[in-house]
Amino acid sequence: MSTNAGALIRHFPYMVKVGAATLSDAFTRLYRRAYWRKRGVHVEPTARILYASPDHMDLGHGTHIGLFTVVVALATPICTEVPLLKVGERTWIGDHGNIRASGGLITIGKACLLANGVTIISCTHDLKPDVYVRDQPWIRGDVDIGDDVWIGAGAMIFPGSKIGKGAVIGAGAVVRGTVEPYDIVVGIPAKSIGSRKDRA
């Protein structure tokens, strides 16, 4: 028996396991896309929607979830509410996004625009110096985003943030805290540079 054949035989159980997992993941994605399509939600084929129960997620009619975007709504001991993620009608979530309602709630209003690469997280780790960061407890910080909010490409919305109706978050901005309604904010950390009301 050749070395290559022997290696193939040794790795066969692993290959079967990986193949089965890949097939199972593909069927799960198809099922979830069909489930949400019936509710008027468009999920791109390469997007990943992760939850233990569809009750954990409330996606409004006309919501779009872009290519390679990951949307997570998983209950934890510090956050067991339902739904964990709520998205209003006609909200567009672009490609390569990262929205994780684990350890806290995320609410996104209706008719919002989230550009490519937006990250929104609802919990973080503590930073005590005598414990590895990965071993530190989660700190909950619910995120509330109002209606008609535009979040630019690559922006990050940190736990505990509250973004008022009609606000604009500039590309690459980092939001931690409160953004007033109709404010336009940019930078790290995000700071106001004006208001949409001034453009009336």
Q: Is 96 helix (H, G, I), strand (E, B) or coil?
A: coil
- Buried-state track 77-111, b at ≥16 Cβ within 10 A, e below 16: eebeeebbbbbbbbbbbbbbbebbbbbbbbbbbbe
What is the rounded CA–CA span in Å between residue 121 and residue 160? Answer: 9
Q: If you search the block for the tokens 């989660």, which residue do you land on?
A: 138
Instruction: Say which residues have a Cβ less than 8 Å from residue 58's Cβ, sequence separation at least 6.
Output: 83, 85, 86, 87
Residues marked as catalytic: 125
